[in-house]
Amino acid sequence: MNEGKVGNIEMICLIVNAIVCKAFFTSVAAVIQKVGTAGWYMTLISAAVSLAVFGLMYIMIRAYEGKNILEIYDEIVGKKAGRLLTLVSCMILFLSASITLREFTDATNVYLLHVSPPGYIVGMFIIAMIVVCFFGIEGLARTAKFFSYILLINFLIVMVLSIQHYQIYRLYPLLGYGLGNTVKNGIMRSSAYGEIILIGIFAKALNNTKDAGKIGLKCLILGGLFIAQILFSVIASFPYFTAAELADPLYIMVSLIEYGRFFQRVEVIFIFTWNLSTLIGLTAIFYGAVISYCHAFDIKDKRPIIISFAISIYAATLIIPSITIILDYVVPTLRDYGWVGFYSPIFIAIIIWFFFKRGKQTYAEKS
Amino acid sequence: MYSEYHKTMQRLKASGLRLVETMGKIPFLNLLIYKESPKKDKFELLETKEDDSEDDVINEHKVVKEKYIYSDIKANLKRIREDFNIPQNSDVIIRELKICGYIDAFLVFINGLIDKKILNEVVLKNLMSGTRGMDYEEEDLVDAIAERIINVGIVKKHNLFDRIEDFITNGYCALFIDGYEKCLLLEMTAYEKRNIEKPENEKTIRGSKESFVEDLPTNISILRRLFRNKNFIVEYMKIGAENNIGCAIMYVKGITNPEILKELKKRINKVKSEAILNSGMLEQRIEDNKWMIFPQTLNTERPDRAVSLLMEGKALVMVEGSPCVNAVPITFFDLYHTSEDNNLKWQYGSFISIIRLLGVFMAVFLPGFYIALVLYSQEMISSELLASIAAAREGVPFPTIIELIIMELAFELIREASSRVPGSIGETLGIVGALILGQAAVQAGLVSPILIIVVAASGIANFVIPDYSLSLAIRISRFFFILMGYMAGFYGISIGMFIFFVIMCSVKSLGVPFLAPVAPKLRTSPDIILTKPIDKMNYRPDESNAVKKLKKE
Confirm if B99 and B145 have CB atoms less than 8 A apart.
yes
Helix axes A137-161, A118-135, angle to 10 degrees: 130
Q: How confident is the model at residue A85 (pLDDT cuts 50, 70, 90)?
A: very high
For the CA atoms of A146, A150, A151, A155, the dihedral, rounded to the nearest 10 degrees, stands at 160
Cβ separation of A108 and B379 shorter than 8 Å?
no
Residues facing residue A244 across a β-bridge: none
Question: How many separate domains does chain A show?
Answer: 1
Whether A3 maps to a domain, the answer reads no
Q: Does the structure show a pLDDT above 90 at B197?
A: no
Find the CB nearest B502 among A7, A135, A272. Answer: A135
Assess whether pLDDT exceeds 50 at residue A139: yes
| Residue of A189, A196, A177 whose CA lies nearest to A284 | A196
Torsion region of B179: left, alpha or beta (phi above 0 gives left; psi -120 to 50 gives alpha) = left
| Whether B64 contacts chain A with CB within 8 A | no
* Helix (H) / strand (E) containing B512: strand B512-513
Per-residue pLDDT reduced to its tens digit, B431-442 = 777 777 888 888
pLDDT confidence of residue A311: 95
A28 is a domain residue:
yes
Contact A139 B503 (CB under 8 A): yes
Q: Give dist(CA B542, CA B552) in Å, integer.
A: 15
A344 domain-assigned: yes
Q: If we measure between CA atoms, which residue out of A22, A26, A16, A272 comes closest to residue A153?
A: A272
Q: Which amino acid is at B84?
A: F
Q: Provide the pLDDT for residue B142.
A: 83
Count CB-CB contacts under 10 A for residue A67: 18
Mean pLDDT of chain A: 89
Instruction: Please indicate whether residue B180 or residue B22 has the higher confidence score (pLDDT).
Output: B180
Residue A186 Cα, gap to closest chain B Cα (Å): 33
Other Cβ atoms less than 10 A from the Cβ of A208: the count is 10
Closest Cβ–Cβ partner in A7, A271, A304 for B33: A304
Residue B54 is predicted with a pLDDT of: 44
Q: How confident is the model at residue B290 (pLDDT cuts 50, 70, 90)?
A: confident
CB contact under 8 A, A143 and B487: no
Which pLDDT score is estimated for B411?
Answer: 87
Nearest Cβ partner for B488 among A116, A261, A268: A116
Residue A310 has pLDDT above 90, yes or no: yes
Give the closest-approach CA distance of A357 to chain B in angstroms. 33
In percent, how much of chain A has pLDDT > 90?
Answer: 60
- Residue A215: give the domain boundaries: 8-366
CB pairs below 8 Å between A and B: how many? 110
Quick one: which of A192, A218, A280, A227 has its CA closest to A58?
A218
B423, with CB counted inside 10 A (0-12, 13-18, 19+), is exposed
Range A158-173 average pLDDT: 87
Domain locations along chain B: 73-187, 216-330, 346-513
Task: Identify the pLDDT of residue A46.
Answer: 94
Helix (H) or strand (E) holding B369: helix B346-375
> Which pLDDT value is given to residue A105?
93
User: Which range in A67-81, B26-40, B335-349 is most confidently predicted, on average pLDDT?
Assistant: A67-81
The distance of B339 to chain A (nearest Cα, Å) reads: 26
Q: How many CB atoms within 10 Å of residue B269?
A: 16
Residue pLDDT, tens place only, B459-481: 999 989 989 999 999 999 999 99
CA A292 from chain centre, in angstroms, equals: 16
Among A122, A106, A107, which residue's Cα sits nearest to residue A282? A122
What pLDDT was estimated at residue A295? 95
Is the pLDDT at B374 greater than 60? The verdict is: yes
C-beta atoms of B499 and A268 within 8 A: no
- Partners of B491 on chain A (C-beta within 8 Å) are 108, 112-113, 121, 124, 271, 275
Q: What is the pLDDT of residues B305-321, one digit of tens each?
A: 999 999 989 999 999 88
Find the range with the poorest average confidence among A164-178, B201-215, B512-526: B512-526
Count of Cβ atoms closer than 10 Å to residue B34 Cβ: 12
Can you give the pLDDT at residue A219?
Answer: 96
Q: B377 near A112, Cβ under 8 Å? A: yes
For residue A264, what pLDDT is reported?
62
Helices and strands, counts by H and E, chain B = 19, 12
pLDDT at position B62, please? 45
Chain A CA closest to residue B516:
A142
The candidate with the shortest Cα–Cα distance to A73, out of A195, A194, A203, is A203
Give the closest-approach CA distance of B256 to chain A in angstroms. 24
Which is more confident, B205 or B483? B483
Give me the phi and psi of A245, to 5 degrees please: -95, -15
Residue among B379, B492, B501 minimizing CB distance to A143: B501
Given this model, what pLDDT does residue A212 score? Answer: 93
Confidence of residue B46 (pLDDT cuts 50, 70, 90): low
How close, in Å, is residue A265 to chain B by CA atoms? Answer: 5
Lowest pLDDT segment from A34-43, A121-130, A251-260, B466-475: A251-260
Which of A143, A147, A305 to mutate against chain B (most B CBs within 10 Å)? A143
Question: Do A78 and A267 form a contact (C-beta atoms < 8 A)?
Answer: no
Q: Is residue A144 in a domain?
A: yes
User: What percent of chain B shows pLDDT beyond 70?
Assistant: 88
Q: Tell whether A263 lies on the interface with B, counting CB pairs under 8 A.
A: no
CATH classification of the domain holding A318:
1.20.1740.10
pLDDT tens per residue, range B57-96: 444 444 444 578 888 889 899 999 888 888 877 888 999 9
Residues of A in contact with B511 (CB under 8 A): none
Work out the percent of chain A whose per-residue pLDDT is above 70: 96
Checking if the pLDDT of B16 tops 90, the result is: no
Q: Is residue A2 part of a domain?
A: no
pLDDT(B165) > 60: yes
Q: In this complex, is the C-beta atom of B351 within 8 Å of any C-beta atom belonging to chain A?
A: no
> How far does A260 lie from chain B, in Å, by closest CA?
12
Predicted local distance difference test score (pLDDT) of residue B57? 42
- pLDDT at residue B55 tops 50: no
Residue B289 at interface with chain A, using a CB cutoff of 8 Å: no
> What is the distance between the alpha carbons of residues B319 and B249, in angstroms, rounded to a whole number?
9
Tell me which DSSP letter residue B201 carries: S
pLDDT at A180 over 60: yes
| CB atoms closer than 10 angstroms to residue B213 | 18
Whether B46 has its CB under 8 Å from any CB of chain A: the answer is no
pLDDT for residue B552 is more than 70: no
* CA distances (Å), origin A361, targets A72, A352, A353, B114: 13, 13, 9, 78
pLDDT of A267 over the 70 cut = yes
Q: Kindly report, residue by residue over B104-154, the tens digit of the pLDDT.
A: 899 999 988 888 888 888 888 888 887 777 766 656 788 888 888 888 888
- d(CA B372, CA B400) in angstroms, rounded, equals 10
CB contact under 8 A, B377 and A279: no
HEC profile for B116-141?
Answer: HHHHHHHHHHHHHHCCCCCCCCCCCH
B515 — contact with chain A (CB < 8 Å)?
A: yes
**Contact status of B381 with chain A (Cβ, < 8 Å):** yes
**A68 in Cβ contact with A203 (< 8 Å):** yes
Contacting A residues, span 127-146, partner chain B, CB-CB under 8 Å:
127-128, 131-132, 135-136, 138-140, 142-143, 145-146
C-alpha B299: how far from its chain's center? 5
Q: Which of A20-34, B125-139, B193-207, B262-276 has the lowest mean pLDDT?
A: B125-139
- Taking the CA of residue A146 and the nearest CA in chain B, the distance in Å comes to 6
